[in-house]
Amino acid sequence: MELTTVWFSLIAILWAGYFLLEGFDFGVGILLPALGRDDRERRLLINTIGPVWDGNEVWLLVAGGATFAAFPEWYATLFSGFYLPLLIILVALILRGVAFEYRGKRDSVRWRRRWDACIVGGSLVPAVLWGVAFGNIIRGVPLDANHEYVGGFFTLLNPYALLGGLTTLGLFTLHGAVFLALKTDGETRRRAGRLAARLGVPVIAIAGGFLLWPAIAHHDGWGWALSAVAALALVAGVAAAWARREGWAFVATGASIVLATFALFVMLFPDVLPSTIAAANSLTVYNASSTPYTLKVMTWVAVAFMPIVLAYQGWTYWVFRKRLTVRQIPVDQSPVVRETG
């Protein structure tokens, strides 16, 4: 197998890992006002992802770094053509990270309410825009003969890309609800389980439409197969949520996210960014890649360090594997300032 194909596959794995892990982070943030009815419950929800959310974002950094090193022209075109959406995602992620650290710094209702809004917005905006971005990557964008993006911001807001945004929003919210049902106990667990069951049918319909379009357009057998298995996994996850089998539901929704990501990359290959102007203008794994020597060095680095990263993250999840309940969240004994206005 050529190293360009190897690195395309590794980038697909990194994005699948990011969506799997950061997906339930986003879902928890989106569901903060729906499932957190008071401050203790909201603190409980935040604590479920507190030890892991920043580690989950490492997958995004590695995916971006791998794209820059292995396919520099793909990276350059993406970050120039998708500059505004990616900037909005970056700002949203920064605000969310700051909110996690700062919401408890003052005993003020307004203070916490504002940071909670940042957590919700910092989770919802990336959940939508990642789907919009990948929808455009799969559909293709206007690239000229120099592989430069010649469209505008509103070019990216086409119907298929917007469907992609709804798909990732729905999948991540469902995945987050299932995660909360798995990670909490008591009334929070029951409410999260009921919400996951209710979200199931609309998410299946939206995600099915998003995967069906490229499968038909590309006539790819492996893409069809992966899409079908991803759909079955999602249906199984929803059924497990209805049956209150949170562990199986989480495995199934996670598998559906991973398989759907793989399906999109398989249907995209060998392109990395198709052109809607002319097929000759498309970026592929061949004309967008680094030199063979660079890819060879990167491969050895990945072989050396990826097992360490995976082992450390697996250990983190094992240490923080127990369920949490609102009884474990201490009541804030200090006076709370209740500002008006």
Residues 39, 35, 25, 160: is their CA dihedral positive or negative? negative
Residues 6+ apart with CB under 8 A from 146: none
Task: Tell me phi and psi for residue 331, to 5 degrees.
Answer: -75, 130
Tokens 């950061």 found at: 22
217 and 197 Cβ atoms separated by less than 8 Å: no
Domain ranges of the chain: 3-322
Mean pLDDT of the 274-282 span: 92
Cis-peptide, bond into residue 202, ω within 30° of zero: no
The reported pLDDT for the residue numbered 316 is 87
| Average pLDDT rounded to a whole number, residues 245-260 | 95
Q: Which CATH number is correct for 3-322, 1.20.1630.10, 3.30.565.10, 3.30.70.260, 3.40.50.720?
A: 1.20.1630.10
What pLDDT, on a 0 to 100 scale, did the predictor assign at position 221?
79
The mean pLDDT value for 82-100 works out to: 94
Place of tokens 């990948």: 134
Other CB atoms within 10 A of residue 191 CB: 20
Does the pLDDT at position 216 exceed 80?
A: no
- Stretch 197-204: mean pLDDT: 93
> pLDDT tier at 340 (50, 70, 90 boundaries)?
very low
**Distance (Å, rounded) from C-alpha 303 to C-alpha 285?**
21
Give the pLDDT confidence score for residue 4 in this predicted structure.
Answer: 92
Average pLDDT of the segment spanning 51-63: 89
pLDDT given for residue 326 in this prediction: 81
289 neighbors 155 (Cβ within 8 angstroms)? no
Q: Which H, E and C letters describe the chain, residue by residue?
A: CCHHHHHHHHHHHHHHHHHHHHHHHHHHHHCHHHHCCCHHHHHHHHHHHCCCHHHHCHHHHHHHHHHHHHCHHHHHHHHHHCHHHHHHHHHHHHHHHHHHHHCCCCCEHHHHHHHHHHHHHHHHHHHHHHHHHHHHHHHCECECCCCCECCCCHHHCCHHHHHHHHHHHHHHHHHHHHHHHHHECCHHHHHHHHHHHHHHHHHHHHHHHHHHHHHHHHCCHHHHHHHHHHHHHHHHHHHHHHCCCHHHHHHHHHHHHHHHHHHHHHHHCCEEECECCCHHHCEECCCCCCCHHHHHHHHHHHHHHHHHHHHHHHHHHHHCCCCECHHHCCCCCCCCECCCC
Is 70 exceeded by the pLDDT of residue 333?
A: no
pLDDT of residue 327: 81
336 has a pLDDT exceeding 70: no
Residue % of the chain over a pLDDT of 90? 69
pLDDT reading at 218 higher than 90: no
pLDDT higher than 50, residue 338: no
pLDDT of residue 341: 39
Residue 1 confidence (pLDDT): 60
